[in-house]
A and B are shown apart, each in its own frame.
Chain A
Amino acid sequence: MSKGRFGIHGGQYIPETLMNAVNELEEAYNHYKNDPEFNKELTDLYNNYANRPSPLYFAKHMTKNLGGAKVYLKREDLNHTGAHKINNCLGQVLLAKKMGKTRVIAETGAGQHGVATATVAALMGMECEVFMGEEDTKRQALNVYRMKLLGAKVHPVTSGTATLKDAVSETMREWTNRIDDTHYVLGSVMGPHPFPTIVRDYQAIISREIKQQIVEAEGRLPDAVLACVGGGSNAIGTFYHFIEDEKVRLIGCEAAGRGVHTKDTAATIATGKLGIFHGMKSYFCQDEYGQIAPVYSISAGLDYPGIGPEHAMLYDEKRAEYVSVTDEEAVNAFEYLSKTEGIIPAIESSHAIAHALKIVPKMNPDQIVVITVSGRGDKDVAAIARYRGEDIYE
């Protein structure tokens, strides 16, 4: 009966009001996914608007400095709008347009998905409204202004903890309120079916390119691929085409915040348990009565109490590993990559860099590691300065 399962995870736990909307979306997605015209249009947008394929950059200095495996960086930070989020937004907004929708709504944490949605909405002449936790509108004030500049309306969300999970809840509420002309551009591989599948398919271009690029550069597949995980969209994009290659280690890096043994953490695999929330069955940070935990991370984009259902399945099957990285380690990695390679990574992506700093030195020089730099770090500079005690303003 129930659709969109990844092992025991996934499903469609949503109000009846939305059921016909997700069914209609699934039907449209299945139709257009094999439509040559649609795919031609999307590829053209990827290449000529979003700057794909993104480079796979050999991090020479990092490799030398760490003295272990060869390190490659998948440069999603070089995409238009500065993150991987545009891959999914171009696909979904194009799909919404084909479905006859005239308005898109989206949640955002760090603001990257909101900016990407607002960007594509501007490009395609759609109305756009973005829901963002009030706490995050303060942490990422520049992105708020950026969205407004792109013609979107930004709603600060004050309910709950006023962060990403509340932004998702509020966008779902808004969708039940206005469905006919509106598509919900969900930003991660989460929520009810078909979203985890749709978002994964649009992000899978990351691993499709990595595979081709690494074979061109090295003549073989990498030993490990690393990506940061909140909901898990850039991670599933990085993993997807390697799932079949069992020798490639898939490593997702969660945000431990101030540590997995403190309450100030967002590491779902490390601290969560099985539950049902935001339309899906998966792992969630919650108390013994199923109340969703108020999670914390320095990174607004990873500050989410759940993980996408496909990741939950990859974890159950032990196909992928999930590790936790603290704020402090992520900030150190943010500074490390900036100084070593002249690349300022997003604080989200810095979680993956940080884990690489731990494992690469222990690997052999004939091994290869690919880290996805999911976004650029310009948006985080002021917050990192404040973390280091320098009181600068954006």
Chain B
Amino acid sequence: MSKSIKEAFLNKKAFIPFITCGDPSLEVTEQLVYAMEEAGASFIELGIPFSDPTAEGPVIQEANIRALSGGVTTDKVFEMVANIRKNSQIPLVFMTYANVVFSYGVDKFMKKSKEVGMNGLILPDVPFEEKEEFASVAREYGLEFISLIAPTSHERIKMIAKEADGFVYCVSSLGVTGVRSEITTDIGAMVSLVKEAKEIPAAVGFGISTPEQAKKMAEKADGVIVGSAIVKLCGKYKKDCVPYVKEYVISMVEAIESL
């Protein structure tokens, strides 16, 4: 039995890395999971590649294309997760797009996710108004369907947080995923609106790349999510990326644990 997402937030700030499955290969993805766990990651977001990821910036878009041209499919990702579960119990959540789940069959996708040992999933193109189609099935299989809030959510935050499972994903900035030099949103205010509605962990993602930014965000939230900065390393070092990613994750974990 893997650890739960809730446990991942217990008594410490969480560091949550994202990688795209199959970039550069599923074998390397598996090794990255082990290396990031050793480096102190609290849990890991596994991206199932999609041809047209509308919430992603160029870095993750390109990773999706690399993975798909390498022949990655949803079934192969499930197989990889089953393999990982033989060696690691770190919580894992999928990050993908509605059509990947819908075309697989929502019930079949959730059932399979549970079988291989996933803990939850994030669908950035499924907002509060559309979530029941997916969340009700996820719940049935004991998977956490993660909700997102954005700098534009304002009065929607309470409504979203009230029904949220696992943790609330706070999108730090307008726009798509990708490294930013500065984050101007009042994250503290977003997080306190979440907490007013429900006692649930809140993690911040989008645009975070440096240990300084991570530390700053972790001061205001329960966890920090980093995607593009890691995917960039995967794109640069390809099959040799594992030690570089590990070193980077260590530096980020140290930064937020210094709090």
Contacts and interface: CB of A to CB of B under 8 A. Distances in A.
B182 interface: no
Given A15-B124, A20-B156, A1 B73 contact: no
B103 A15 contact: no
Interface string A371-386: 0000000000000000
Contacts, number: 121
B125 A276 contact: yes
Chain A interface, >50% SS class: mixed
Contacts of B55: 15, 173, 176
A15 B52 contact: no
A15 B100 contact: no
B175 A277 contact: no
Contacts of A279: 125
A81 B186 CA distance: 45
Nearest to A19: B127
A183 interface: no
Interface string A142-178: 0000000000000000011000011001001100111
Contacts of B237: none
A172 B50 contact: no
Interface in A188-244: none
A16 B74 contact: no
A12 B152 contact: no
Contacts of B99: 275-277, 284, 286, 290, 292
Contact of B152 (A13, A17, A165, A173): A17
B150 interface: yes
Interface size class of A (residues with CB under 8 A): 35 or more
Interface size class of B (residues with CB under 8 A): 35 or more
A52 to B, nearest CB: 34
Given A20-B153, A21-B152, A176-B175, A276 B102 contact: yes
A257 interface: no
Contacts of B51: 160, 291-292
Contacts of B174: 17, 176-179
A13 B126 contact: yes
Given A176-B176, A290-B102, A292-B51, A20 B151 contact: no
A1 B126 contact: no
A159 B54 CA distance: 11
Given A290-B103, A291-B50, 18 more contacts: A1-B129, A13-B127, A15-B54, A15-B127, A16-B124, A17-B150, A18-B152, A19-B127, A19-B129, A173-B176, A177-B176, A179-B152, A274-B102, A276-B98, A276-B102, A277-B99, A289-B75, A290-B50
